[in-house]
Each structure stands twice: as C-alpha cells, then as structure tokens.
Amino acid sequence: MEEILSYLLSVQTLVLVLAVFLLKSSIKFVPQNQAYVVERFGKYQSTKEAGLNFILPFIDRISADRTLKEQAVDVPEQSAITKDNISLRVDGVLYFRVLDPYKATYGVENYVFAVTQLAQTTMRSELGKMELDKTFEERDVLNTNIVASINDAAGPWGIQVLRYEIKDIVPPQSVMEAMEAQMKAERVKRAQILESEGDRQAAINRAEGQKASVVLAAEADKEEQVLRAEGEAKAIVAVASAQAEALRQVGEAANTEAGQKAIQLDLATKAIEAKHAIAKESSVVLLPDGATEASAVVAQAMTIIQKMSKGS
C-alpha cells in the first residue's frame, strides 16, 4: 500500500512539474517595441506584440525576435564618381525601423545587411548625378533623394528609412589643393573688393563733406551780406531821420524872433571865420567894398530864410 501511495505521489509530482513546464512554455511576455514571429509546424502562424501572449508548447516556436525601435547603422566608406568625373570617398549613417515584422523576417534574409547595401548603391547613383561643388552645397537634397530611393526599394522588406546623413565627403588630395587655392583666391578677391568699396565710400564721404562745407560757407556769407545790408539800410534811415528831425527843429527855431537873432549871429560868426581863414592861406588880401559887408551877408541870408519860411 505504501508503495502504491509513493508511486501515486511521484506521478502527481511529475504531472505538476510537467504542467508548470507546459504553462511556462506557453506563456510569453513580449517587451515594449518588440515583436515575436511565431511559427507552427514550420509555417508562419502569428506575430505576438508587446504584452502577455500564449503559444502551444512543442507546436509553436518563436522564429524571429524583431525590434520595432529606430536603428542607426553605419554605412561603410565607399568610392563614388561625380558627374564631373571626380572620385570621392563617402560614408554615412542610416536611420530606419521595422514596420512589418513578417516582411522583415520572410521578405529578406538579413534586412540590416540588405538596407545597408541598398544605401551604398543608392548613394553612388545619386552622387553620379551631381557635380563636385553641388555635393558640398546640397547635402540635404542628396540625403533626401537617397532616403526616397531606399524607401521605394525597401517597401517589400517591411523597412522604413527615416533619414540618411552623410558624415564625410573626402575628395582626392589634388582636388583638395585646387579647392584650397580657389578658396584662397576668393578670400583675396573679397578682401580687395571690400577694400575698394571702403576707399570709394571714403572718397564719397570726403566729397560730400567738402560740398557741405562749401554750401555752409556760402550760406554764412550770404547771411552776413544780408545782415550787413540790413544794418547799412537801417543806419541810412536812422541818419536821414536824424537829419530830418534836426532840420525840422532848426526850422521851428528859426521861425521865432530869438531864432532869427541866433541865425544872424551864427552867419556873422561863420563869415568872419571864413575871411580870417582866407587871410591866413593867401598872400593877397581882398578888402571889402564897404564896412558893412558882414551885415550885408547876414541880411541876404535872413532874406533867403524868410522866403523859405513863407513858401512852406
């Protein structure tokens, strides 16, 4: 009896172990951004995505584990010939990801190798369409064309190329020396142009400065002449006004009795002084016709003044 119980216990243990083993074999936890390709009896059965999944032990097997993350692969350096027959050494980096695990497994033997080779051939083809100078100036266009060409060919493989970046473009040493000489000549040319532009601008500035100086001097001289003329005109007007006022006052004074006497005295005094001056300057002295010549002169002057007063 004990042997039977022991046997039954052993069988139960074996069944339990087998059940645990089968359960463990049937449960598959797929990590995030990964996919398992499952085959049943050697034929594709399903694609298990991230999370908890079940398969049939001993019947189903995982034939491929595909990552869905973006991958970066170095494209080895290779030789390419440009449109103007210049040999270049070019390498790059290819960024892609798996869109369809089924196609990536059954559509191509090794999708990484295939897409890398495709990138190399496409890059050689695209470089052959461009001249040397364009390969440096239009890298973005070159990268875009390579990506578009690879995606057209890699569609049946379930691969999507996101971008392609050229790392280095190395021309032959002779071409590099020629390019360096050309760049040096361009720098010298730009320096000479900038220097000539500077001289030209300086000459223009000097000419404009001289022109402005002449204009300002002419305007200043003009203003000075205008101010001088205005001053002279005002002076003339002031002198004329003063003379007119003096004559008016003299006329008003001469119209009185005291003014008449003052004029007679002044005229007599001036007549005597004139005779005295003539006597000093000349050796010949003219004697007056009569003793009353001074009084006659005064009388004549008074007569003229009276007539002028009556006429006014």
Q: Encode pLDDT of 220-242 as tens digits.
A: 888 888 888 888 888 888 888 88
3-state secondary structure of 109: coil
Is residue 246 a part of any domain in this protein?
A: no
| Phi/psi at 158 (5° precision) | 70, 25
Which residue intervals of 130-172 are DSSP H helices? 132-137, 139-154
Strand partners for 61: 39
On whether both 53 and 124 belong to a single domain, the answer is no
| Tens-digit pLDDT string for the chain (312 aa) | 667 767 667 777 777 777 777 777 788 888 998 999 999 888 888 889 888 888 888 888 888 889 999 999 998 888 888 888 888 888 889 999 999 999 999 988 899 999 999 989 888 888 888 888 787 777 888 888 889 988 988 888 999 999 988 888 888 777 767 677 777 888 888 888 888 888 888 889 888 888 888 888 888 888 888 888 888 888 888 888 887 777 677 667 666 776 666 666 676 677 667 666 666 665 554 545 444 455 565 566 566 556 555 555
Which of 64, 94, 121 marks a domain boundary?
64
Which of 171, 187, 208 marks a domain boundary?
171
Please give the tally of structural domains in the chain.
Answer: 2
CATH number at residue 94: 3.30.479.30
Q: How far apart are CA 237 and CA 244, in angstroms?
A: 10
On whether both 132 and 89 belong to a single domain, the answer is yes
Closest CA relative to residue 36, chosen from 111, 105, 110: 105
Is residue 37 a part of any domain in this protein?
A: yes
Which of 64, 87, 113 marks a domain boundary?
64
| Phi/psi at 28 (5° precision) | -130, 125
Q: What is the predicted pLDDT for the residue at 7?
A: 67
Q: What is the predicted pLDDT for the residue at 305?
A: 56
Q: What is the predicted pLDDT for the residue at 171?
A: 81
Q: What is the predicted pLDDT for the residue at 276?
A: 65
Is residue 247 a part of any domain in this protein?
A: no
Is residue 148 a part of any domain in this protein?
A: yes
Q: What is the predicted pLDDT for the residue at 160?
A: 92
Angle between helices 257-281 and 173-254 (to 10 degrees): 110
Q: What is the predicted pLDDT for the residue at 287?
A: 47
On whether both 60 and 76 belong to a single domain, the answer is no
Residue type for 156, please? P
Token pair recorded at residue 131: 């001249």
On whether both 96 and 133 belong to a single domain, the answer is yes
* Torsion over CA: 133, 134, 137, 143 (sign): negative
Q: Which residue range(s) make up the domain with 149?
A: 70-171
DSSP E strands in 117-271: the ranges are: 159-170
On whether both 82 and 143 belong to a single domain, the answer is yes
* Residues 55 and 122: beta-carbon distance below 8 Å: no
Q: How far apart are CA 254 and CA 250, in angstroms?
A: 6
Token pair recorded at residue 270: 């001036």
Q: What is the predicted pLDDT for the residue at 70?
A: 92
Q: How far apart are CA 205 and CA 210, in angstroms?
A: 9
Q: What is the predicted pLDDT for the residue at 95?
A: 94
